[in-house]
Structure 1
């Protein structure tokens, strides 16, 4: 997340939960999982996390232990990442004063939460004006750089990232020693650009200087995820959960649990995050994550409900609009899905949205429209690259299926060496298969299935490669598994999986005749399992005695 942060307030950590909040016993295993006894009440596969009528979600209390958020700082001033937002004294009135747009943006990002786009725009304008008069203010440069990162993430506008880098490096130049906000901002920038090595470097520097600054550990956690460093992720998550509570931390925990295949734990953590969210933008981001988890479970109706709720909370949450299109496709509402995708691309032209829409057009037989989206994808990747964004995985997957598989292998081999995540391993394995190197590809995809999340796409790739190699039993098993996980995972891939299963047919009945005979053998014909005991020899009759 962004660099704007403050040290954890010990008094806030010790504050009691609100009187109307139920408290869950603090029972967690050593690996951080929520025990089954605690998880069952929080939802899981097949259970709606927010039961009741399907309508926009209202406020909900979470059945988890809560630490009260310290708002005393807001009553006088907000100190986040070195930014001071001075607020007037209210003459003894109860409750904190209302923050303006810039203050809300600083408070949100400083709390590790998404900021509303209008608030970000005001904050950026104010900081730019301030820095024209005070160009040596290292704290304001760090705030401005972090705000650029957040806006670039929200809008998929890579033009914000060079501005962010310049602002953050200017902050470091003005204060080279101990500038944790700038270092954390550079780590967040690396994550936003998918340059996870750089994010790790800056994040580790920030953590060394400020080991109790939770947002530095959070940025480092994101970097470790991108690198596929499971041990690093576990360490960073444990540290973040020790230093902080709240929606932002539970979202990260839910994402990590999802990566590990712990779906019930992920559902519980994300549901709690949505209940704990304090702003519409933060609530939308949490609901989006819950919806994504429902989608991955193959529940398009449930996922659509969460995406709609996210958009009701924050109409500017464009990822929910694109994901809404995906759910609508699965529900057979193709026209609505096309409108959702087109709206998402108009507001946030991310390459992955263009790929999804292009494949939807292709599945409908609209090849010219599909080619137009594929051209847009290439243009967006090129434009994002000018801002330092690494979209090699999206471009590699596109080339493997719709372009040059050899080029995909070259791209994804280099990307996997940089960032060895399960997602990159799967993409490389699929590209190798498409380029005619199925044996090498299978090894990569098997590693992705073993280490990564429970993904229908991973199992589909594995099953198709095994089918190519003549391993029909394994292929049948893994293709079926892909459709069990999510029968709607891709408009092209799901249809291809069904076609492959039809071509494979049913497994042959029975087995080898000598192992599984077609009918029971009569008892009289069965071979004894052990030789019969020999009959006892007759005892010799006693010899007659001779008389004298």
Structure 2
């Protein structure tokens, strides 16, 4: 079933290179340290906590590499649910313990690649996935990891090819969802919606509802970016019906409420989401919502907290936040943070953040090159289009700049609580005025 336009030769060449090279594991915990991390008692009493305890009990009696892998996979689910990246260390410990028993255990190698992916070590995850695929070209988990890692590294062609092979081998929620996202990146909104519908249908009746809830939110974001607030809100509500305290759905609903001028309800939803999963992006939106509500002191307190959190755990989002504030005092730190991320993972969204930080720093030529890379595939993302237009406007290309900004607003006139207003203001300025901004 051909769903994507991809060049299969790219993946074959990469696999050939992987066969000729060896992938050695990065330094990590010793086996005893790894076991201790993997056998840590989970904090909580949910289904995944009970599963972790059950697998741990079996491992203490009769340790096997397969069970270490199962334990690591459970720790990954726990880390995702809790929004706690520190828990990936327990998953990593599980992979080390498994590989100490069977050094070529494919499931353990795949677990290590998944840990690398979730730790945002995308280059290493990509190489690990390629090494697995060099031994078993039809390894479905490795193809999924390769698709995700390649996209984060900016290699859309490899991501497309890996995803097409994934769809061919195992059509279902995970493969259709990746295909849908790639279709959207390439500007095919109708195709993306169709594939998201397939993904959601494929996940119906699953024991764990979280993957379907995630897919519902991702599909709803297509509607959001296209300005269909009702459609986005419906998707968020469907996700919350499956997982009532699902932070991504709460955040999406809050965006919709803000777009409708319901600031108090947006603040309430974001406070709930932040209590469940305290992400920098959620704090950023909460600060904007509080400011729109007239709570300036609350917004400032939230921003102070997200500054501290971002420096510890999410330099990319913090860098984009600082660049978006437009304060001269923030420009150097914003660029430093985003430059480091760009060196490690030059994917499309990182290219956008890099372009915006360069723009704020006054380095317009480099900003233009970065935003051209970010928008090269025709992605219908209003924020990308706004950034592209503002950068061109600052360069003096008023006609193209204003056309791009208008397209962003045509897609979603409330795409961002702050930048939408900035976009409307820029449409009334000359290029010279935009440069002074």
Q: TM-score range by the shorter chain?
A: 0.7 to 0.9
Out of 379, 389, 392, the position equivalent to 2:315 is 392
Give matches, 1:433-452, under 5 Å: 433-451=359-377
Distance 1:440 1:273 in 2: 38
- Hey, what does 2:49 align to over in structure 1? 121
Distance 2:385 2:280 in 1: 24
- Hey, what does 1:494 align to over in structure 2? 420
- Hey, what does 2:249 align to over in structure 1? 320
Cα offset for 1:484?
1.0
CA contact (8 A) 2:152 2:348 kept: no
Give matches, 1:79-118, under 5 Å: 118=46
Farther off after superposition, 357-366 or 301-310 = 357-366
Distance 1:382 1:499, change over 3 A: closer
Extract unaligned runs of 5+ from structure 1: 1-25, 33-116, 385-390, 506-548
Distance 1:146 1:459 in 2: 38
Out of 140, 147, 164, the position equivalent to 1:214 is 140
The CA RMSD measured in Å over matched residues stands at 2.0
- Is 1:132 the counterpart of 2:55? The answer is no
Normalised TM-score (structure 2):
0.84
- Is 1:286 the counterpart of 2:186? The answer is no
Distance 1:173 1:337 in 2: 49
Indicate the structure with greater helix content. Answer: 2
Cα offset for 1:137?
1.9
Q: Name which one, 1 or 2, has greater alpha-carbon Rg.
A: 1
Give matches, 1:299-338, under 5 Å: 299-338=228-267
- Is 1:264 the counterpart of 2:190? The answer is yes
Distance 1:207 1:119, change over 3 A: farther
CA contact (8 A) 1:301 1:331 kept: no
- Hey, what does 2:89 align to over in structure 1? 162
- Hey, what does 1:37 align to over in structure 2? none
Distance 1:29 1:123 in 2: 36
Out of 96, 103, 109, the position equivalent to 1:176 is 103
CA contact (8 A) 1:187 1:220 kept: no
- Hey, what does 1:373 align to over in structure 2? 302
Cα offset for 1:29?
6.8
Distance 1:345 1:504 in 2: 40
- Is 1:424 the counterpart of 2:347? The answer is no
Out of 468, 476, 480, the position equivalent to 2:402 is 476
Cα offset for 1:130?
2.0
Q: Deviations over 1:21-67 (max 9, x none)?
A: xxxxx6x57727xxxxxxxxxxxxxxxxxxxxxxxxxxxxxxxxxxx
Out of 142, 146, 153, the position equivalent to 2:73 is 146
Distance 1:452 1:197, change over 3 A: farther
Distance 1:450 1:257 in 2: 14
Distance 1:316 1:366, change over 3 A: closer
Distance 1:320 1:208 in 2: 38
Distance 2:4 2:113 in 1: 29
- Hey, what does 1:343 align to over in structure 2? 272
Cα offset for 1:210?
2.7
Cα offset for 1:365?
4.4
Out of 400, 410, 417, the position equivalent to 2:336 is 410
Out of 237, 250, 254, the position equivalent to 2:176 is 250
Distance 1:339 1:243 in 2: 43
Cα offset for 1:457?
0.6
Q: Deviations over 1:184-218 (max 9, x none)?
A: 11221122122211211221222223322212211
Out of 463, 468, 477, the position equivalent to 2:389 is 463
Distance 1:370 1:121 in 2: 35
Distance 1:451 1:154 in 2: 32
CA contact (8 A) 1:146 1:185 kept: yes
Cα offset for 1:327?
1.0
Distance 1:202 1:413 in 2: 25
The SS at the match of 1:491 is coil
CA contact (8 A) 1:180 1:209 kept: no
Cα offset for 1:145?
1.3
CA contact (8 A) 1:207 1:217 kept: yes
Cα offset for 1:364?
4.2
Distance 1:205 1:347 in 2: 36
Number of residue pairs aligned between Structure 1 and Structure 2? 387
Distance 1:349 1:485 in 2: 29
CA contact (8 A) 2:274 2:282 kept: yes
CA contact (8 A) 2:263 2:293 kept: no
Extract unaligned runs of 5+ from structure 2: 7-44, 432-437
Cα offset for 1:348?
0.6
Q: Deviations over 1:470-490 (max 9, x none)?
A: 222122111101101211110
CA contact (8 A) 2:311 2:318 kept: no
Distance 1:119 1:216 in 2: 26
The SS at the match of 1:408 is helix
